[in-house]
Amino acid sequence: MTPQLLILAALLTPFIGALVALCLPTRPKAAAWTAVVATALTLAASIALVPVVADGSVHAVHAGNWPAPFGIVLVADAFATIMLVVCQLVILASLIFCAHTLSSYYQRRHLYPLILTLSLGTNGALLTGDLFNLYVWFEVLLLSSFSIMAMIRGKDGRAAAWRYVVINLVSSLLFLTAAGLIYGKTGTLNFAELRLRFGEEESSFLIDSSAALLFGAFGIKAALIPLAFWLPRAYPQLPPAISALFAGLLTKIGLYAFYRVFGMVFSDGTSFPHQNLLFVVAILTMVGGVLGAVAQGDMRRILSFHIISQVGYMALALALFTPLALTAGIFYLAHHIIVKANLFLATSLVEKHAGSSDLGKVSGVARSSPLIALLFAVPALSLAGLPPLSGFFAKFALLQASLAGQEWVASAAIVAVGLLTVFSMLKIWRAVFWGESNESRPAPLLILALTSGVLALVAIAVGLCTGPILAFAEQAASSLLDPSAYLESVLQQSK
């Protein structure tokens, strides 16, 4: 298949799958299998794009053959491709867990069409080549997540859902306002055209004012402190199989937008607007998130606060804005999507095995099910940054970048937050997996153990094969700092 067909396959396959699954409202198993097959095909198309863009080439699809910046354009480069692969891998794993762990209440409420629509929005946001369509794909993704959040029962669940919806609507309003202002002043929202326009000296005020609104919009979506209060109240209310999906995708797409828009569109290759503010916010997010995690007494809540903390690492990489820092940040993004999703899936196994994720109510899981303990230990150690797992190399590369830039506060924060992350993981291990267990508990389903095991093996493989993956991430970082290949691919039809 040509690169253009692969791009279309990555976008159209979840859409077609969602339509088919929507026609199966009374057959949840068939809908689940439809979603699994559609996601597997999308993952295959994403993987097939990897060798195509590995040399730094960029491929674009111009809808209706309209030249940029007048038509809709879809663009695949190294950054978008690596995100496509890891996102689809997590969606596939979450779907398998949803099919085998969720009650009929969730199964019969169009869950699988919604997940595929969420996948469609995710892929569209990664592949789009203009700001307005980034907003549109964000809305597709968010509307799907709104519908899933609305399934939560109980007073606390409804409160969490309302909070999630309202804060994300504020984010969308900021995003749309910024897009309108930019279009009113430039006449275009195409990323490539905007990069050229923002390179002009007289557009500095436009960059600062519009970037401030987008900073707020993306900051909410990425869950940066002080805009992250909605996340630890919403995600723990969801079943872990769905939390894994949300944890792996939603905040990371917000970070992807930060990298794409601030790192490429608003950037001159050496800096971008509000870079110093992002540096401060990133440090606060790292520290505030991990302190919140240490204070919790439930696995779901600890992991939810760790999402915030780890988002700070990735935002810090962008704020440092050096080739090494961006490489580390993109590597960190890919690693964290897989590891964080797998931690929630392992939590699902703990709940199914022991009946709770409360640290005060569960103990001895390592004795009653060594397999579950192993499946949790691998991503937990990777999140904490222990070698030779993927998290160690992500944090080590970011620490190298901060030391090279003589950013001593950032370096200290990376080390301190890493140690507190280890402490919080040990807290879970001591309470949930250690100790005695005299109860007879069910063993995990083989397919669930295999699914979580595959993600654990991916984390190990990424650690053992860090060189080639870091090289791919470096290629992605280079395309942000020097987007000449991106501009040529997108704008060639308008020359």
- Least confident piece of the model among 38-52, 79-93, 149-163, 171-185: 149-163
E strand spans, 336-401: none
Q: Which letter does DSSP use for residue 266 in this model? A: S
Which two structure tokens, joined as six digits, stand for 152?
Answer: 């939560």
Condensed to tens digits (0 to 9), the pLDDT of residues 199-231 reads 665 556 667 788 899 999 999 999 998 888 888
Question: Which of 316, 268, 247 shows the shortest CA–CA distance to 97?
Answer: 247
Mapped onto helix, strand or coil, the DSSP state of residue 483 is coil
**pLDDT at site 438:** 54
Tokens 């797992």 -> residue: 389
Which two structure tokens, joined as six digits, stand for 114?
Answer: 């919604």
Q: What is the mean pLDDT of the chain?
A: 90
pLDDT average, residue stretch 32-45: 96
- Structure pTM? 0.93
The residue type found at 331 is F
Tokens 């203009």 -> residue: 130
148 Cβ contact list (under 8 Å, min separation 6): 111, 114, 115, 118, 238, 242
Spatial distance between the Cα atoms of 295 and 285, rounded to a whole number of angstroms: 15
Condensed to tens digits (0 to 9), the pLDDT of residues 434-492 reads 877 656 567 678 899 999 999 999 999 998 888 899 999 999 999 999 999 999 999 87
334 Cβ contact list (under 8 Å, min separation 6): 82, 83, 85, 86, 462, 469, 473
Mapped onto helix, strand or coil, the DSSP state of residue 298 is strand
**pLDDT at site 385:** 87
**pLDDT at site 494:** 45
Spatial distance between the Cα atoms of 85 and 335, rounded to a whole number of angstroms: 12
Question: Which of 413, 379, 398, 226 shows the shortest CA–CA distance to 303?
Answer: 379
**Are 356 and 105 a contacting pair, CB within 8 Å?**
no
- b/e burial code for range 92-117 (CB count within 10 A of at least 16 → b): bbbbbbbbbbbeeebbebbbbbbbbb
**pLDDT at site 152:** 82
Cβ atoms within 10 Å of 8's Cβ, excluding its own: 17
Torsion sign over Cα 140, 144, 145, 149 = positive
Condensed to tens digits (0 to 9), the pLDDT of residues 358-400 reads 888 888 888 888 999 999 999 999 998 888 888 899 999 999 9
Mapped onto helix, strand or coil, the DSSP state of residue 75 is strand
Spatial distance between the Cα atoms of 347 and 353, rounded to a whole number of angstroms: 10
